Structure 1
Amino acid sequence: MNKKIFIIIAITLSLVLIGMSSSIAATKTQNSGNKIADYRWMQANQMNMPLTNYGIFGQTIDGNAGFYWPSGFHNETYIFGAGLWIGGLVRKANDPTKFDTFVTCGYNPNSGGTEFVAGEPGHSSDPDQKIYFSSDSDWPLKDAQGRDSILSTLDSYCAYNDYDEAKHFVTENKPLDLTVIQQTYAWTGKLKEDILFFVFNVVLDPSADTVHNAFLGVCADNDIGNESGTSANDLVGFDRDRNMAFQWQNDAESNWTHFPGTIAYKFLQGPTSNGIDTVHYYKDPYDTTKTDSIVIHPNDTLGMTAFKIFTIDIDPADKFERYQEMSGYTYKGLDPQNPEDSYNPYDIDVYGPSDKRFLQTAGPFNLIPGDTAKVIYAILMAKDTSELPVKADVAQAIFDGGWLAPGPPDPPHLYVVPD
């Protein structure tokens, strides 16, 4: 089967700067399970998102469905949990001609676990390794002039890492020695108030070995109404033109004020091929001796290359199954002798109303020691699937306008996207 890399084509839109003020709500609860584990609510607009500094977002501190929309309706939840997955092939120490498969899982939808720990490596008891909001007096990000570097109405910043071998689900799945810098951005105002941006910068330790044929992306367990078992009734769709996965249900919730809306994850940017090695995409991702099926040249930016759907009954259970799904294969029934028969990078929801999860990934690329790979998403809400494209195009306009660039334009000090 021919594989295609779908790269987001940016269409530059002109946006005008205006200043505006807004009230920002933020709450914080300390997680006693780790000295520096932190948990805060991002509540600048209608998107009420719980964040942690150990890889999980969208979930409450006690492990229940957390993200709710709109503001003021705490019981109208849409996310049970979500997190970043990163996987790849690392050379075996005892035989560099062979590779091990490792996947670091930011959120396991089957167990609720994470393989990340709070903060940067080597700072396990540093109280400064917390979640920062741009409204905090100790906001750490500064521009070249030493001023607070703030992009949106409310920014957040935190770091977590996968170095702790004891936190990995099984001993066979070793750490990749990664640090993730997670940032979120929220604007207020018409249409923008239903969007929250996530930027993940993944840094490989300078002393680690190269991660070959790497993939990364977010796995989301969106339980609309926090339903499970026979009560679960979610459906999943995919807008290929917008690189956007979405989830909805057709039934009302008895204890909700609103009819359930639609939650979507729009993939905006994938990592860049590292510029040193040409990255090869092999027909069998476990065998790097076979003929290439596609070549990704240095400095190419990857789009979303796989969208996979699974239910609670068929969650990928180990590092091999997770890596197969991340690389676009369907792990169930995969024949090692004919792996191409299981290559299906864009799933269709064939499961009917049930407890769904989906995974959006980009790859392959080589993550070299000291290198950084970036992936950007917009999570957005709409009343229904007909309103969804409008919100998605607003998110794309914000991205195309450069608002999520590494540094803010000059001046002013606080930047707001206009109506």
Structure 2
Amino acid sequence: MNRFTFKKRGIAAATVCLVALLIALPSFSYAKTAKTAQRKLNKSMIFDTRNHDVNRIFLPISNESTFGQNIANGSAGTFWPYPATLDAYIFGAGIWIGAQIEDGVDEQGNPVLKPLVSVGYNPNSGDSEMTPGGLPFDKTNPDYRVLMSTDDADRAIWPIRDENDNPVFSSDQDSWCQYNDFDQSEHVLDQDGIPIEERPLGILITQIGFAYSIPAYQDIVFLTYDITNKSRELRTPDGTVRFPNGQTLRDVYLGVVCDPDIGEAADDQITYFKGLYAPPGETEPLELNLGINYDDDGLEASFTNPAGVGVVGYNFMQSPKATRDVFIDPLQTILIRQGEELGMTSLKQFTLETDPRDDG
């Protein structure tokens, strides 16, 4: 199977990113490629999954970053157009967060940097290095489950409140969860030689989802990621604080990795669109920063939607702003000025055979 990553870059102590997942019918031609197979490992039942299901996208959300997957069965979990069909579009997806951290100094006294990546969905194993909950973490606490605004029990403990302590909701169905990368046992010991106890970045992620049932947004689910550097709370196995003053995360990248599997997995492809688009019924166009997964021949024998095979799109609607002038392409032709949003800085495709084996 091909894997697709959509990346943006930022340098900040706290980062907010808004991603829109869209599924719709295509309007472009196709080219042929091949894909490989995947194996999924089930997670412990202390992890929680709930579903966005108020519009035409049925999207599972977990409190370990993985979304779009039926984790319990290790199978595709995203269907469209729901509930009319159960045509599958995503096998699994999640965020990756990478950064450079200081690892001593060289002979000239300059800091030596090493890369670390915390993976929210590993397409080779289906696993995640994220742990449910806030800090200090307790992955058995039931309050760390995925909260849904359509669930009365969840509304009672909803964490977003107004000045009168009433829960605040923004869509027909909000979701809310927190997870972190603190648990060393959830990390994979890669081929780069970095000890397992040094692998966590020390980050806390608050993820909020929004789904609307109105026609203009019935094929979209919005996900926001609020990512905070909490490395002051990282500890060694004996409980010693590793970084009393925290550790600086340099050259931070956030990526969404997706295994789309639009029906049959062997004929999916990617493309990219950047430009203005006005949704039906809207007069003001939106600026799209869109990575697209599509079926290369537009044919899926198992699909039942009479309108045909759709496409999956990821749009970075809001990203961190550049803290300095920076080129985001190898040829140095695309310059993002200080204070401007970085948007999507790269779109990559890879197979299981070329899936990176370390954090470098």
TM-score by length of 2: 0.70
- Opposite residue 266 of structure 1, the aligned amino acid is N
- Distance in 2 (CA, whole Å) between partners of 1:190 and 1:143 is 29
- Distance in 2 (CA, whole Å) between partners of 1:281 and 1:101 is 20
Instruction: Give the equivalent residue in structure 1 for 2:150.
Output: 135
Hey, which of these two has a bigger chunk of strand by percent?
A: 2
- Distance in 2 (CA, whole Å) between partners of 1:282 and 1:182 is 26
- Distance in 2 (CA, whole Å) between partners of 1:281 and 1:244 is 19
- Opposite residue 123 of structure 1, the aligned amino acid is F
Residues 32 and 169 (structure 1 numbering): CA distance in 2 closer, same or farther, change over 3 Å?
Answer: closer
Instruction: Give the equivalent residue in structure 2 for 1:126.
Output: 141
Instruction: Give the equivalent residue in structure 2 for 1:222.
Output: 260
Instruction: Give the equivalent residue in structure 1 for 2:321.
Output: 272
Q: Does 1:255 align with 2:302?
A: yes
List per-residue Cα deviations over 1:324-361 (Å, max 9, x = no partner). Answer: xxxxxxxxxxxxxxxxxxxxxxxxxxxxxxxxxxxxxx
- Distance in 2 (CA, whole Å) between partners of 1:64 and 1:160 is 22
Q: Does 1:80 align with 2:94?
A: no
Q: Does 1:101 align with 2:115?
A: yes
- Distance in 1 (CA, whole Å) between partners of 2:219 and 2:127 is 28
Q: Does 1:168 align with 2:178?
A: no
Match of 1:192 among 217, 227, 248: 217
- Opposite residue 272 of structure 2, the aligned amino acid is F
List per-residue Cα deviations over 1:128-168 (Å, max 9, x = no partner). Answer: 11111112332232122322111111111000100111211
List per-residue Cα deviations over 1:49-76 (Å, max 9, x = no partner). Answer: 0110011000002211100011125641
Shift of 1:317: 2.6
Q: Is the 8 A contact 2:54 2:211 kept in 1?
A: yes
Q: Is the 8 A contact 1:213 1:281 kept in 2?
A: no
Instruction: Give the equivalent residue in structure 2 for 1:154.
Output: 173
Query: How many pairs does the alignment contain?
Result: 276
Instruction: Give the equivalent residue in structure 2 for 1:40.
Output: 50
Shift of 1:236: 1.3
Instruction: Give the equivalent residue in structure 2 for 1:313.
Output: 353
- Opposite residue 184 of structure 2, the aligned amino acid is E
- Opposite residue 178 of structure 2, the aligned amino acid is A
Q: Does 1:212 align with 2:250?
A: yes
Shift of 1:280: 6.2
Residues 74 and 176 (structure 1 numbering): CA distance in 2 closer, same or farther, change over 3 Å?
Answer: farther
- Distance in 1 (CA, whole Å) between partners of 2:319 and 2:328 is 19
Instruction: Give the equivalent residue in structure 1 for 2:341.
Output: 301
Instruction: Give the equivalent residue in structure 2 for 1:344.
Output: none
Secondary structure of 2:218's match? helix
Instruction: Give the equivalent residue in structure 2 for 1:70.
Output: 81
- Opposite residue 65 of structure 2, the aligned amino acid is G
Match of 1:234 among 255, 268, 293: 268
- Opposite residue 300 of structure 2, the aligned amino acid is E
- Distance in 2 (CA, whole Å) between partners of 1:65 and 1:6 is 29
Match of 1:112 among 109, 119, 126: 126
- Distance in 2 (CA, whole Å) between partners of 1:141 and 1:191 is 26
- Opposite residue 129 of structure 1, the aligned amino acid is Y
- Distance in 2 (CA, whole Å) between partners of 1:98 and 1:74 is 53
- Distance in 1 (CA, whole Å) between partners of 2:84 and 2:215 is 19
Instruction: Give the equivalent residue in structure 1 for 2:238.
Output: none
- Distance in 2 (CA, whole Å) between partners of 1:89 and 1:280 is 17
Residues 111 and 161 (structure 1 numbering): CA distance in 2 closer, same or farther, change over 3 Å?
Answer: same
- Distance in 2 (CA, whole Å) between partners of 1:262 and 1:206 is 39
Instruction: Give the equivalent residue in structure 2 for 1:56.
Output: 66
Secondary structure of 1:56's match? coil
- Compute the RMSD of aligned alpha carbons: 2.7
Instruction: Name the % identity.
Output: 32
The higher relative CO (CA closer than 8 Å, separation ≥ 6) is in 2
- Distance in 2 (CA, whole Å) between partners of 1:193 and 1:280 is 36
Secondary structure of 1:70's match? coil
TM-score by length of 1: 0.61
